[in-house]
Every structure is written in C-alpha cells, then in structure tokens.
C-alpha cells in the first residue's frame, strides 16, 4: 500500500524509528493496516525532476524486494547518490535498514489494548 505525502508522513516522521544506511534514511512506525505502507521522498537536493523521479522509481522497486513487516509504515528518504548507485546496493541498504542482523523486521511493536 502506498503512503501518500501529507497523509501520514508527519506521523511516521514523528513516531517512527530512524535508520540510516548508505544513501537512504528509513523511518519505520506502526501502520494502520496489515499490509506494509511505503512512502518515498526525493527532495530537490537529489537533483532535477528527472533525477528525483528516477530515485523514487528505484526506491519503490527496492521496497518491493525488501522484507517489509506487515502492519508497518515506512518513509524512505533518498540522498543524491541513490540515482547512480548500483541497484543491488540500494536493495541491500533498504534490507539492512528494515531488519536487524538476524533478519527480524525493525519497528516499534503495537502495544496491546488493555
């Protein structure tokens, strides 16, 4: 599921766990649905519109290949290097950012309703 700008981005930024790997920063927080929600940000410092769109396309495809946790919301922020780095490195960075060393998905766990 796609996380659109303005919808829940601020909430994910505010409450999420921030992890930096390579040229990307990932914010992970609790989601609203059982499917992972992913939003991608490529600001003006990434480059012109063509470069920003390329960076976002590459990050979306990398997110499709990453082991995202169900019930989680992610915002992936690109740095300028995302446009030119090898795609395998991009996938590896995203994979490392959303999991710990044992392959478990990182993000705050939902608290049980009491």
Q: Tell me the C-alpha distance between 100 and 111, whole Å.
A: 20
CATH T-level assignment (fold) for domain 9-98: Ribosomal Protein S5; domain 2 (3.30.230)
**With contact defined as beta carbons under 8 Å apart, do 59 and 42 qualify?**
yes
Q: What is the pLDDT of residues 39-94, one digit of tens each?
A: 999 999 999 999 999 999 999 999 999 888 888 889 999 999 999 999 999 999 99
Q: Which one has a higher pLDDT value, 103 or 60?
A: 60
pTM of the shown model: 0.83
């Amino acid at each position: 599921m796609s996380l659109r700008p303005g919808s829940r981005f601020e909430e994910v930024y505010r409450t999420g766990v921030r992890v930096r790997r390579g040229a990307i920063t990932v914010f992970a927080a609790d989601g609203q649905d059982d499917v992972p929600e992913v939003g991608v940000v490529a600001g003006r410092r990434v480059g012109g519109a063509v470069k920003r769109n390329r960076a976002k396309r590459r990050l979306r495809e990398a997110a499709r290949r990453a082991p995202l946790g169900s019930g989680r919301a992610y915002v992936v922020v690109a740095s300028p290097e995302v446009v030119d780095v090898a795609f395998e490195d991009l996938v590896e960075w995203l994979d490392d950012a959303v999991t710990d060393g044992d392959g478990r998905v990182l993000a705050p766990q939902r608290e049980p309703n009491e």
